[in-house]
Chain A
Amino acid sequence: MDMMPDIPATFRPEQPAKVIRVLSDDGTLDPRHDPRLTEPEVLEIYRWMVTTRQLDERLVALQRQGRIGFHVGSLGEEAAIIGSAFAMRKTDWLFPCYREFGAALMRGLGLQKFMDNMFGNANDTVLGRQMPNHITSRATGFTSVSSPVGTQITQAVGFSWGAKIDGKDIASLVYFGDGATSSSDFHSGMNFAGVFKVPVVFLCRNNGWAISVPVERQTATRTFAEKAAAYGFPGVRVDGNDVFAMVSVVREAVRRGEQGLGPTLVEAITYRMGGHSTNDDPNRYRATDDLKPWAERDPLERLRQYLERRRLWDDAREQALIAEVDRNFRAAVAVAEKTPPPPLESMFEDVYEKPPWHLEEQRAEMLRGPRPPSAH
């Protein structure tokens, strides 16, 4: 702001909101925001965070081996994703960006279903019609992933708005990155939700990067949370690597929705520890040193220390959990890899409820052949 001396002080933005943090370095929880999770709850959250990271690492390896085509992971963002999803009620709905497979698994997607999607095989819910990680799971209240950023934001608003018209209290948790705050859907979705007081939790995973572009290129505001003020509802900043703070803040946002107070924007401050996806090399635009301060605030490490201090966790349990994830992963991959590709005619299904004449013609044309030279 020093660059603009002509602007009267009264027009200057306020100081950014303080970042809400619950888990302190000494392992104590700030009583003002402590979500008072039970021990089994904390353990469940930790297990899902570890599972998510273990799967991430294995899926990257699988991609490097050429066995799957792509992976877009959540390394370093596990607390923001798992904590927020955990805070939602079972009846609420999740609108994913594309890094939230951990949330889908926690809500019951099933590892085999996830792996079937990663291989795009015949058992994939979406029949190999999308890239890996583009999962759909209606049964667990998880919508469908699309690659363009931000489009899910307006949809999340419409979903809970529709429920509201229908007399149901269903909140939506919509995930997006800092990059998506530049999209028109972010503006439209925030605006509509504010005007119609829709119970939506807008969860901005501020992970520092949109592929290679840093947050400074997405916005001139000092925080993402303050954007909520322009739409007439609160925006909060939260330590996205602190799962207790995530649960607490998102629960509060759900409560606000329940009370008819409308939406909340949550800016979860975290860091994308990996590349944007397996197709990205972050060494081209950021220094390895940049990762250091964030590695020290690793969300899994912090939660593990908390658990160990309370003697709820130890090395043996950690190794057992990792072994279990590994076992399940290998089993699921073995099945997914053996499962054939979707049937050829499935390409023409679900375009419409029933294929019109032109798709029937084209399906027949495709089935007649010729077949492409490379296998599926």
Chain B
Amino acid sequence: MPQMNMVQAVNEALRSAMRRDKRVVVMGEDVGKVGGVFRVTAGLSEEFGEARVVDTPLSENGIVGCAVGMALYGMVPVVEIQFADFIWPAYDQIVNELAKFRYRSGGEYPAKLVIRTPVGGGIKGGHYHSQHPESAFIHVAGLKVVCPSNPYDAKGLLLASIQDPDPILFFEPKRVYRAAKGEVPENDYVVPLGVAKVVRPGRHVTVLAYGAMLYEALDAAAKASEKGVEAEVIDLRTLWPVDIATIVTSVKQTGRLVVVHEAPRTCGFGAELVSLVTERCFYHLEAPPVRVTGFDTPFPYTLEMEYMPLSHRILPALLDCAKS
């Protein structure tokens, strides 16, 4: 099996989906000749031509609005928003149009497309190249939200997302785009949506993480283990609809919960996860659930490592939670 990084794995998935289905169209800023600013779409323009790999004008609102129209026609657009921080001009089209078309048309116009976009900090990108805005999309009825952490899942989840009948926000953690490497099968496979993965079993405390923060959680878990605390780390993979069964099973065993995410804390996904767990596992909980998250500030440039919920912040939270 070839070794790949996430950039290559996503590229593989796109290439394979475009070969199999002529309705699949890739569109976005710089996705053509240059292959995207992260090179995720490299080589696609050469293989599939400019009509199906479209360098668009610089307008997120235009890209997504047109992609919705293409989806209504029956194409399957896979849109790239260059950085998640630039997605907001398209928010109306995503929230009021894309996410609502099936519902508001009584099922006559399912609008299916995938919006891929790099998320997260730790790359010296400042506020406009670092945001991790999943909760603003999880909150929206009609959307599914995916965030892989490794190349194998990235390919399998993207292929599953392209096949899925519903609109999907596919968040790619750019901090580990090239750092996360692994074996990726050359053939097609899917990683089913809505299924989390226990990546490190443990009996003392459950840690929920996704994307780039999974590696921070694993690092903290390894250090905690040296101190006798065994953390069970779950990679959520699909953020919404989240795999509640796997989470509940774990927390009922450990009785303790730590949630990690880069996005700001207030109304972040952690708030929902803690509520879901509390509603279902209240009598199993031995300690208050803990959120280790980005702060409720804009994403800072110079002090970004202070902002990020990295291992150094996860470890004490995890030990405290396990011991309280």
- Interface of A toward B, CB cutoff 8 Å: 124-127, 129-130, 134, 136-138, 143-144, 146, 148, 151, 153-163, 165-166, 170, 172, 184-185, 187-189, 191-192, 195, 349-353, 356-358
Contact = CB atoms under 8 A, between A and B. Distances in A.
A130 B71 CA distance: 21
Contact of A129 (B25, B65, B103): B103
A47 to B, nearest CB: 27
Contacts of A156: 69
B109 A353 contact: no
Interface in B220-261: 241, 244
Smallest CB-CB A-B distances: 8 pairs: A158-B69, A154-B65, A188-B62, A158-B66, A162-B70, A356-B241, A162-B73, A155-B69
A188 B59 contact: yes
A345 to B, nearest CB: 14
Contact of B96 (A148, A158, A357): A148
B73 A153 contact: no
Contact of B105 (A136, A189, A353): A136
Contacts of A161: 66, 69-70
Interface string B72-92: 111101000000000001001
B69 A130 contact: no
Contact of A136 (B59, B62, B109): B109
A159 B73 contact: yes
Contact of A165 (B25, B64, B106, B241): B25
A134 B104 contact: yes
Contacts of A130: 104
Contacts, number: 150
Given A158-B66, A165-B75, A144 B104 contact: yes
Contact of A151 (B59, B71, B93, B142): B93
B66 A350 contact: no
27 contacts: A126-B104, A129-B103, A129-B104, A129-B106, A134-B104, A143-B109, A144-B105, A146-B100, A146-B104, A148-B96, A151-B93, A154-B61, A158-B66, A158-B70, A159-B72, A160-B69, A161-B66, A184-B61, A185-B61, A185-B65, A188-B59, A188-B62, A191-B62, A350-B102, A350-B106, A351-B142, A353-B165
A133 to B, nearest CB: 13
Nearest to B193: A356
B139 to A, nearest CB: 12
**Which of B56, B65, B75, B101: most chain A Cβ within 10 A?**
B65
A162 B68 CA distance: 10
A165 B49 CA distance: 11
Given A129-B104, A146-B96, A154 B57 contact: no
Given A144-B101, A165-B75, A158 B106 contact: no
A137 to B, nearest CB: 8
Contacts of A188: 57, 59, 61-62, 65-66
A162 B65 contact: no
A170 B74 CA distance: 13
Given A146-B97, A357-B241, A124 B73 contact: no
Nearest to A145: B104
Given A188-B61, A350-B107, A158 B67 contact: yes
B73 A151 contact: no
Nearest to A184: B61
A156 B73 CA distance: 10
Given A351-B102, A358-B241, A191 B59 contact: yes
Given A125-B108, A154-B93, A351-B102, A165 B62 contact: no
Contacts of B52: 165
B141 interface: yes
B174 interface: no
B194 interface: yes
A192 B165 CA distance: 26
A158 B68 contact: yes
B304 interface: no
B121 interface: no
B69 A148 contact: no
A154 B68 CA distance: 8
A158 B142 CA distance: 21
Given A165-B51, A166-B73, A157 B103 contact: no
Contact of B75 (A162, A187, A189, A357): A162
A351 B106 CA distance: 10
Contacts of B122: none
B70 A353 contact: no
A358 B322 CA distance: 29
Contacts of B75: 162, 165-166
A35 to B, nearest CB: 28
Interface string B161-180: 00001100000000000000
Contacts of B142: 351-352
B194 A356 contact: yes
B110 interface: yes
Given A159-B72, A358-B241, 13 more contacts: A136-B104, A148-B96, A154-B68, A154-B69, A157-B69, A162-B72, A165-B51, A170-B73, A188-B61, A191-B62, A350-B107, A352-B144, A358-B244
Contacts of A136: 104-106, 108-109
A125 B72 contact: no
A55 B74 CA distance: 34
